[in-house]
């Protein structure tokens, strides 16, 4: 079997960061004079602006390239994170994986949903592969993520 290499989409992370930051700044500017009343809608708008600004800044700082390499010959998964504050690498051996499931973040009614692979390890811990905030192409399509699950199970030997 061949190696399976997948990379996230940092431009989408950057777009989210810029969007949240700009909307947050706009709300802060528009609601800056809330009249001293902490129970007004204007004050709520100011707080929402601050929250969006914090989310935008955090998203910008945490933006980075993540590469996932599933290597059936070496029988391992290597996750490499390259970000602003350095590089990290995590290796998960196939024998450490007890189960591969599908995780979900979002609301089905709103149409905004992200799926990811949830690895349950023999030591009881869980690891999110193709995490939602990383914007992997296909992560908003359940059928695509089910195909990822089947492919990984075949590589690991869990597929029945």
> Which helix (H) or strand (E) is 135 found in, with range?
none
CA atoms within 13 A on the CB side of 7: 7
3-state secondary structure at position 21: helix
Predicted local distance difference test score (pLDDT) of residue 160: 55
Predicted local distance difference test score (pLDDT) of residue 158: 73
Q: What percent of the chain has pLDDT over 70?
A: 96
b/e sequence 90-103, b meaning 16+ C-beta within 10 Å: eebebebbeebeeb
In the predicted structure, residue 112 carries a pLDDT above the cut 80:
no
Domains of the chain, by residue range, sit at 4-8+65-156, 13-61
Predicted local distance difference test score (pLDDT) of residue 135: 79
> Of 89, 97, 90, which Cα lies nearest the Cα of 154?
97
Per-residue pLDDT band at 59 (split at 50, 70, 90): confident
Predicted local distance difference test score (pLDDT) of residue 27: 94
- Greater model confidence, 112 or 50: 50
Predicted local distance difference test score (pLDDT) of residue 70: 94
> Of 25, 21, 43, which Cα lies nearest the Cα of 33?
43
pTM higher than 0.85 = no
Q: What is the mean pLDDT of residues 39-44?
A: 84
């Amino acid at each position: 079997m061949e190696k399976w290499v997948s990379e996230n989409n940092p431009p989408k992370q950057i777009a989210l960061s810029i969007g949240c930051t700009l909307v947050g700044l706009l709300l802060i500017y528009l609601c800056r004079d809330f009249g001293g009343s902490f129970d007004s809608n204007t004050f709520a708008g100011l707080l929402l602006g601050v929250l969006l600004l914090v989310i935008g800044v955090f998203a910008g700082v945490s933006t980075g390239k993540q590469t996932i390499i599933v290597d059936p010959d070496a029988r391992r998964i290597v996750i490499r994170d390259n970000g602003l504050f350095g590089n990290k690498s995590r290796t998960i051996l196939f024998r450490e994986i007890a189960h591969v499931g599908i995780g979900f973040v979002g609301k089905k009614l709103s149409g905004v949903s992200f799926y990811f692979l949830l690895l349950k390890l023999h030591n009881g811990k869980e690891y999110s592969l193709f995490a939602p905030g990383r914007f992997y192409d296909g992560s908003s399509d359940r059928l695509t993520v089910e195909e990822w699950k089947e492919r990984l199970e075949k590589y690991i030997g869990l597929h029945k």
